[in-house]
Structure 1
C-alpha cells in the first residue's frame, strides 16, 4: 500500500487518479534521489543498504524489509539489516528468517538469485515456492517483492519487502527499484576495489621488507525493465521524470538498434539531443572501441548483456566528437514474440577511474622497473662471489651468498610477473598471431623443464585428439606463457615419480587444453580465490614456501584476453586439473606497445 495525503490505497496511482499519480511520480523521484545520495555519501556499504531499505519501506508503507547476503558457497544468508515497523508483532517472522538460509531458486531470495532481476509475489500464502508462508499466513503477510544488488557482474545481496495486503505487481515501480539496486551495486564495487588496492599495497610493502633483509638494499615500492505500453511516447514522458534524476547515462534501444529513450545525463555525456536522435540507429551515434581498435556493436559486451568493467578497456566515441572510457550494465527483456526485445543500457564516463587505474598501473610498472636494476646487480655480485672471482669463500660465507642469490632470483621472477600483469591489464601488449601447431608449442615449453622432471623422476604425457591438430592463429609467446605457468605448477606440487597428463582436444568452436596431476590439490574452502593476485593455498605454502601467487592470475588475464575460458577441478590430496580454451578462429591481432616477455 502507498500513503498519499493521509489516505491508504491498494492500487498504484496509475489506477487511482491523476492527483495520486502525480504524487506517486514525485515520491519515486524523491526515492531515487535519496537512494543516490545514500549510495554516494554513506561511509560504508552497510550504511547505504540500511538507508535505502528504510527509504523503500517508508515510501511504500510496507512494514517489513530485510537484506540477504550471498556467501562464498553461493548461499543466501540472513543479515542484521532490517526495517520492522512493529518488532513485537513480527518477532516470530524475524526469528524464522534469521534461521533460514536459501539456495538458488528457493524462496523469494533464491528466485531472485536465480533470475538476476526483481520479482513480485501477489500472495505469499498461495505461492508454492515460499518456505516461510506458514509463518507469513499467521502474521497476515500477503504481498512481497525483492530486488538483486549486483556488483562486479555477480549478485551479492537480495533485498526483500513484505506487505499485509494482496498487491498486484507494478513493473513501473520494479524498474525504479532495479535502478536503485544498480546504484547499491556500485557502492559494493567501490568497496571491493579499494580493498583490493589496499591488499596490493600491503603485499608490495611486505616484498619490500623481504628485499631489505636479504640484500640490505632499500626499495620504494602502491531495470526491472521499464514497462512498455502501446503508447510508448506517453510512457516515455512519465518515465523521463524518474530517470532524469539518475547520475548515470541511460539508453533504451529496440532489437533493431533504434534509440527509444535517453535521459538528461546520457545527453550530457554523449553531447547529443534526444529530440534530434529519437528513433536513430544507436550504432551511428556511438562507436565502440576496445583500446585503440574500433569494434562492431555485434561483437560488443553490450549486445551480449555482459557488464563492461574498467579493465575491459572499452571507449565510447560519439557522433558529436566525444571520446571517453566507459563502464556499462545492460539488461534485455522481450515482449510478445522472442524476436521483439528492448535493451536498457546504463553507462558512465569512467575517465577519472581510468586515470586512477592507469596511475596505479604506472606505479606498479615503475616500481617494478626500479626494482629490477638493483636486483640484477645483486644477482651478478652474488654470482661472482659464488664463482670465486674475488677469492675463495668459507663454507658459511658460501651458504649465506647462495641464500642471497636464490632470494634475489625469486624477487626478480616476482617483479617480472608484476610487470607482465601490469602490461596485460593496461592493454599495452602486442599480439601477433600466426598459424601454429599447439602440440609443437607445448613440447617446446615442456623441454624447458627437462632437468627438473628428470631429477624428480616424473613423466609428462601428451594426448592429442584428433591427431594432427588443425593449425590455429596464435601468439606463441602468450600461449607459451600460459602453458609454462600451468606446467610449472604441476611439476612443483606433484610427488616424485608422478605422472602429469596433458590433453589437447579440438572441439567444434574451440581447442581445449588441460593438464592433470596427482599433486597436493587445493582445499575446497580456498578454491574461489585461486585466480586472485598473491593468493597461495595454505597447503601450497607448506609444501613449497617460495612462490608469488601471481602465475594463475596472469593465466586468467591472458586466456580471457584472447576470448578463451579458464577453470579447474581439484581435490585436496588427490591433485588438480586446470583447463583453458582457445577459439578455433584464433587470437585477434593487437598493435599494442610492448611484448609480453619482460
Structure 2
C-alpha cells in the first residue's frame, strides 16, 4: 500500500479533491434524502389530520355504543381515506377497527399515541411498529369529546411502506444522478489537477534536469494561464541567470585550474582541519605523489613532513604568511622554497591555508656549479698569472746579465701566456656553444676525420704510438656543423695520444648502423677510475690535476665535446678500466639523400 508521504503532489491534490467532492456529494445525498422523507411525512400528517377532522364531524352525531353501525362506518371511512381507522373508548377498549375484529384486539390505553391523547386531550402523532399488523405505521390520535369530556379516541394510521418505496425510488434516482455527478466531478478534478500540477511537474522536471547539468532547459510559459505563465517566466529567468553564473564560475574555475596546472610552482590548498583539498601537478611532481592518494587526507599523513606541517600550523596560528627553505627526501633530496599563507574570512577566522612551493634544487646546484666554476676559473687564471708576474718581477728587479737565464724566464712567461690564452679561448668557445643554436647540414664525415688525423699524426709519431683507423671507403654524409665536429675529434684524438704511453695504440673505428654513423676511439692509456667517469665532462674537472696541467690541458675540452655532441642530438659515452685504456664513442645521424 502506498504511503501518503510517498505520493506525488499531483496524486495528493487529486485525492484531496476527490475526497472533498465525494464528501459534498454524500452530504447532498443525505440532505435531499432526509428532506424528501420529512416532506412525505408532513404530507401524510396533513392528510391524516384532514381525514380525522371529517371523521370527528361524523362521530358527533353517532352513537359509539352502536357496534354494528360503528363497524360499518369505520370500514367506509377506511375505504375512503385508504387508511386504518380505529375507535377506542376512554377506557382503552377498541370499539371498532377497519383491519381487525375489535373483540380480538388488546386494550390500547397504553399505546403511546392513545395514552398521550387521554392524558392531555391533545392530538398526537407517532411513528412506531404495529404489533397487530406487523408494519411500521404513522399514527394520528385525536380525542372524541362529549360536552368537553373525552369519551374516546379516534386513531387513523397509514403504513409507511409506501413512503419507503417512494423514498427508495427517489434515492435510486438521486444515486444515479450523484454517480453521474461524481464521475463528472472526478473528471473535472483530474483536469483541474492537471492544469495546476502539470506546470509544477514540468518545473520540477526542468529543475531536476538543470540540477543534473542541463542548464539550457526552459519551461514553455505560453502553454499555461497567466499566473502559471508568470511563474514559468520567473523560473526561466532564474534558470538563465543561474546558467550564466554557473558558466561564469565554470570558466573562472577552468581558468584557475589551467593556471594551477601550468604553474611551475607547486600549490597545495588545505581546509581549516588541515586536510588537503587541492594539489596541482607541480606539487605532485615535487613530492612524488598523486592527487588521489592525498586529497581529503591530513597534510602530515600525506607528505610525511613534520616541518611542513609545523610551519603551516604556525602560519595559521599567527595569521600571517611564512616563507621557509625546506629539505625534502622522497626519494631524492630536494630543496624547496615554501611559502605558507593562511586563508582568512572577513571576520579574520581561519578557513584554511595555501602552500606555494618552488623546487630550487637545480637552482642550488647551479649556484654550486657557478661557485665552483668561478673558483676554478680564478684558480686556473691565477696559476699562469702568478708565474708570469713572478718571473717578470724577477726580470725587472734583478739585474740578470746571463742571457741564458733571461731567455729561460722569458720562455716560461711565453708558455704561461699561451696557456692563459688557450684557457680564455676555450672558455669563450664553451660559452658560445652553450648559448647559440646550431644549423645542422649534410657534410662529409670522412673528410673531417682524415683532416684531424693528418693534423695530429705527427704527435702520435713522436710517441711512437700506432694510430689505426678503421673506416669504410664509402661513408654516407651526416648532419653536423663541420667546425664543431672537427673540434670534437681534435679533443678526443689529442687526449687519446696524450694519455697513452709511448709505443702504445690508438684505434679509431667508424661504421654505419641503421640511420646512424658511429665513431669510437680506443686507447691503451692510463684509463679512468670508475669513481671519476661520471664527472670527467664537468668543467675544470681533472682525474690527475698535476699530470693534466703538465700535458697542457685546461680541463674544459671534454665539457666542450659533451655540449657539441648534445646539440647534435647524440651523447658521448665512455668505457674505461684503470690502467687498461679508455673508449669514447658517439654517433651522428645519416643525412637524407
- Shorter-chain TM range is 0.3 to 0.5
CA radius of gyration, larger in: 2
The two structures have a TM-score, normalised by structure 1, of 0.40
Using CA pairs under 8 Å that are at least 6 residues apart, name the structure with larger relative contact order, 1 or 2.
1
